[in-house]
Amino acid sequence: MQPADKKSPNRFTPYQKFVVASLAFLQFAVILDFMIVAPLGALVMPALNMSPRDFGFIVSAYAFSAGASGLLVAGFADRYDRKRLLLFFYTGFVLGTLWCGVANSFHALLAARIVTGIFGGVIGSVVLAIATDLFEPDQRGRVIGFIQTAFAASQILGLPAGIYLSSRWNWHAPFLVMVVFGIVGGLVVAWKLQPVVAHLMERQERSPWMHLYDTVREPRHWSAFVTMMLLATGGFMLMPFGSAYLVNNLGIALTSLPTIYLITGAFTIFIGPLVGKLADKQGKYPVFLGGSILSIVMVLIYTHLPPVSLTVVIVVNVVLFVGIFSRIIPFQAMSTSVPEMTKRGSFNALGAAIQQVSGGIASVIAGHIVTMAPDGKLEHFPVVGYVVVCATLTAMFTTWKVKQGIERRAATAQSAAA
């Protein structure tokens, strides 16, 4: 299949629309599985006689096993049909989710989360490689914009449904329902998605470890890797304390949190595709720059808010997510042009590993910065905001280096073709 319709290069073919919908669904399943665990803590801990420390291990086990998996798989990621690779890891992910649904002890659930992370942590990188292989650079912003709506959909559809199912039956129910939907979606992808093998037409290194080494030692890859680390740092430092900050510091009622997540998620579903379309038309880096500046302003406002009304919190939250998505989507679209076709799988797997590990480390660092006062309020939370701002400013520079590298490579290729 050609990556784009030659007569209308900016319009998706029916098959490409199916690909985008399929990749977005798979991303939704993975993100929902990761996000659903934290809200179930109040039910899981007493049911399995777990301490908060034990539950912390349950949450972090996924991230660290996903990071390790990305590193181990990177050398093999470009040696197979990407469709088969995707289905292999997706099958393991569904089985891991099933294990979570039937686990009846702390150790069983911990092992299940490790297995789910091993398989689920690689899916996002394969999804990104497929999107890159099947779409032209001037389409990738829109593609990634649609795929990123999976995050918002998991907030407005998945989390409320998961909490309802667990309250109606028990904490096992959300995982078992996810397995049913996951199997149906996986069968559709297996039936309709065509093999993705263009990268296999070029010569590969005989050793997977040499392939990994060549990916790691490529200088232009490192600016992208550093940017991925910085972007993950910002998100993982603020996210773990979001609900506690809103309730304890800003005086928002606990019962109002679903409303905040619902409205923010609904706005984000529309924001993602619009940001992607804008990145394709105006350029990835200018949109990233604008999103970074907006993020810096909103992070400073968010972390310094006094007690305010629910309406103000919703507006600030929505605009903050506009800034976040206006960074993530154009950068991901830009980074697809960094590696060669034969190194896309390896590059994306390494990037996913870096994001997972750096995100976990960032959460730990934030946990050492933030303390809780006797009245329950979070102290030093603005310091976390300053760290996020510094990470964002640095990412603006490293992304500029990524842009320069892409332009130099394109100029070299054009000269060689002439």
Domains of the chain (ranges; CATH) run 14-199+211-408 (1.20.1250.20)
The predicted structure's pLDDT at residue 8: 46
The predicted structure's pLDDT at residue 99: 93
Cα separation, 326 vs 297, in Å, equals 13
Q: Which two tokens stand for residue 43?
A: 């039910």
Cα separation, 338 vs 407, in Å, equals 10
The predicted structure's pLDDT at residue 74: 72
Question: 256, 310 in Cβ contact below 8 A?
Answer: yes
Give the three-class secondary structure for 250.
Answer: coil
Angle (nearest 5°) at CA 347 between 344 and 349? 105
Q: What are phi and psi of 379, to 5 degrees?
A: -105, 150
Give the three-class secondary structure for 128.
Answer: helix
The residue to which tokens 């449904």 are assigned = 161
Residue 370 CA: distances (Å) to CA of 30, 92, 231, 361: 29, 37, 20, 14
The predicted structure's pLDDT at residue 202: 65
Global confidence as pTM: 0.76
Q: Give the number of residues written for the chain.
A: 418
Per-residue pLDDT of the chain in tens (418 residues, 90 and over written 9): 444 444 445 677 888 889 888 888 888 888 888 777 766 666 777 778 877 567 767 777 787 788 788 777 777 777 778 889 889 999 999 999 999 988 888 889 889 999 998 898 888 888 888 888 888 888 888 888 888 787 777 766 666 677 777 777 888 888 898 899 889 988 998 898 888 887 777 655 567 677 777 777 788 888 888 998 888 877 677 776 777 788 888 888 877 877 887 888 788 888 888 888 888 888 889 999 999 999 999 999 999 999 899 999 999 989 998 898 889 889 988 888 888 877 777 888 788 788 877 877 777 787 778 877 887 787 888 998 999 999 999 999 999 998 888 888 777 767 766 6
Nearest to 156 by CA among 67, 81, 51, 261: 261
Give the three-class secondary structure for 79.
Answer: coil
Cα separation, 41 vs 164, in Å, equals 14
